[in-house]
Amino acid sequence: MKIVSNPTRRSVLKGATALGASLFVPAAWTQARAQETKAFQLTPKPATVSLLGPEWPDTDVWAYNGRVTGPELRLQQGQRLRVDVKNGLNQPTTVHWHGLRLPNAMDGVPELTQAPIDPGDSFSYEFDALDAGTFWYHPHVNSSEQVGRGLYGALIVEDKEPPHVDRELTWVIDDWRLTRDAAIADNFGNGMDISHGGRQGNTLTVNGGQMDEVAVRSGERIRLRLINVANARIFRLNFNGHDPQVIAIDGQPVTPHAPTDGRIILGPGMRADVIIDFGGDPGETFNIVDAVSSAQSYVFATIRYSAEPPLRTSPLDASIRLAPNDVATPDLLTAERHQVVIEGGAMGGMRSAIYKGETLSISELAQQQMKVWALNGVAAHTTKMEPMLTLKQGRSHIITIRNDTGWPHPMHMHGYAFQILSRNNKAVPHTPLADTVLLDRNDVTEIALVADNLGDWMFHCHILDHVVGGMSAVIRVA
């Protein structure tokens, strides 16, 4: 499976697999509704939902509280979040709070930070929301399948002083691999997906439904929170005719700036907050394009301006800069240096790796349920591994990550917001804070952090089938 070439929305639907779906997709989507309290209940369980609208069969999914996307959990920065999770699936699960800096025991990684929650059992997560920003939650057991069947939701921590906007929207973006009957193709974790680019879907949803059109009013300013929850697809969104300003990456404020090449790049797990002044004329339309490359793009959605007169004639004159979160700044002069090398996969040239303590050849690894990826020479067989790196608590650290494979990898670290210092020996503008850094093939990047959060933390690719294939490790802060 690879990304389809020159897809339109509809050819994405039908072209990406041999399943032959020729799906016509009417516009029907709803925005996740905000909740008002700090205590929530989440019940992951089987459900039947309409992903494609009334003209298509419903889809059997696994969903939090019966809906895709799961409920949007909202609270204020500094508040405490309590979430009671009851497992309504027929297999163990956990909930991981992606991007949040929280105590290790609340991080939701089976074996490493908690026992998995068995079917019918419950677990309560409780922690303070230190950072304002756009985060999300998802299971960390059998993640490729559990996320791929619909278990995810947005977690929004509101700024104490949010920038003035007319509206705020959250777009939880997913792609699904559906059969012609709109059922989820159940070939999770197959060797092809594991060893190549992961499970690419053939059907896009935003907030669990179709979003062919986005209705806006001339003159309005919108804050858009973009969350990529897809198993493997990398989005490169181009808002033609508009000038989106990125104000946060992975929930962490950044100097407002236009995205490089005009494309907002979101690997799996990644988020961006953007502010857009909608300066088009009443009645105009513009396409948001997923610009995979210059040769390959498709219309993600169409912006349609209402006929109403403009809300205002010149853009709002109010700052769009967010207050930074209280993340310690690494001291680069005294930082300890570490390295992570990513190897393996199809066309990767890896000869061997250590698996369960033994050195195995690539063909032997392929026979071990396709453990064909390695971090620093080790293919993971479980979440509870001996640490790949140990970072001294309280010190600053720089980690160089090198992608020696033929595939892109969004590398995610739990429990931290790290600075992205450089990419291919060039300083990264605005030195963004992030929890996930996307490495194209053969990229080298440097990230830096202050090791101020104790514990054993997962470090893994967010292409979830690559995790199935061994691309995860533990970073210990002690």
By beta-carbon proximity to ligand C2O, the closer residue of 152 and 278 is: 152
409 binds, among ligand C2O, Cu ion, none (CB under 5 to 8 A by kind): Cu ion
Distance in Å, CB of 194 to Cu ion, minimum: 10
Best CA proximity match to 461, nearest among 430, 436, 442, 478: 436
Nearest distance in Å: CB 446, Cu ion: 19
The CA dihedral of 223, 229, 230, 234, to the nearest 10 degrees, is 50
Q: How far is the CB of 383 from Cu ion (least distance, A)?
A: 16
Both tokens of residue 323?
A: 């207050």
Tell whether residue 269 is a contact of ligand C2O (CB under 6 A): yes
Question: Which position among 14, 74, 96, 271 is part of the footprint of ligand C2O (CB under 6 A)?
Answer: 96
End-to-end CA distance of the chain: 41
Q: Is the backbone peptide bond immediately before 69 cis, with ω within 30 degrees of 0? A: yes
The answer to whether the bond into 59 is cis (omega within 30° of 0) is no
Quick note: the x/- pattern for Cu ion over 403-442, rule CB under 5 A, is ------x---------------------------------
User: What whole-number distance in Å separates Cα of residue 372 and Cα of residue 364?
Assistant: 9
Q: Which residue number, 250 or 343, has a Cβ lying nearer to ligand C2O? A: 250
- Reported in sequence order, the residue ranges of 190-317 that DSSP labels E, i.e. its strands, are 203-206, 213-216, 221-228, 235-239, 245-249, 252-257, 263-266, 271-277, 285-293, 296-305
Residue among 416, 384, 431, 386 at smallest CA distance from 99: 416
CB of 292 to Cu ion, least distance (A): 17
Least distance to ligand C2O from the beta carbon of 428, Å?
22
Identify what 149 binds: Cu ion, ligand C2O, none; CB under 5 to 8 Å per kind.
none
417 and 99 in contact (C-beta within 8 Å)? yes
Which of 219/269 has CB closer to ligand C2O?
269
Q: List the structure tokens of 164.
A: 């003035």
Instruction: Classify burial at 326, counting beta carbons within 10 Å of its beta carbon; exposed 0-12, middle 13-18, buried 19 or more.
Output: exposed
Binding map of Cu ion across residues 448-467, x = CB under 5 A, - = no contact: -------------x-x--x-
In 3D space, the residue among 211, 204, 106, 227 whose CA is nearest the CA of residue 155 turns out to be 227
The residue with its CB nearest to ligand C2O is 98
Query: Which one of ligand C2O, Cu ion, none is in contact with 140 (Cβ closer than 5 to 8 A by kind)?
Result: ligand C2O
Residue 292 in 3-state DSSP?
strand
414 binds, among Cu ion, ligand C2O, none (CB under 5 to 8 A by kind): ligand C2O
With CB under 6 A as the contact rule, which of the stretches 297-305, 364-372, 440-448, 457-465 interacts with ligand C2O? 457-465
Of residues 157 and 222, the one with the C-beta less far from ligand C2O = 157
Helix (H) or strand (E) holding 253: strand 252-257
217 binds, among ligand C2O, Cu ion, none (CB under 5 to 8 A by kind): none
Task: For CA atoms 370, 376, 382, 383, give the dihedral sign.
Answer: negative
**50 close to 56: Cβ distance less than 8 angstroms:** yes
Q: Which of 9, 98, 101, 263 binds ligand C2O (CB under 6 A)?
A: 98
CA distance 71 to 236: 26
Taking the least distance from each CB to ligand C2O, the nearer of 397 and 412 is 412
User: What mask of x and - would describe binding to ligand C2O in positions 115 to 144, judged by CB under 6 A?
Assistant: -----------------------x-x----
Interactions with ligand C2O, residue window 386-445 (CB under 6 A): 412, 414
- Decide: helix, strand or coil at residue 96: strand
Binders of ligand C2O in range 206-225 (CB under 6 A): none
Measured distance CA(45)–CA(67) in Å, rounded: 9
Residues that bind Cu ion (CB under 5 A): 409, 461, 463, 466
Residues that bind ligand C2O (CB under 6 A): 96, 98, 138, 140, 269, 412, 414, 458, 460, 462
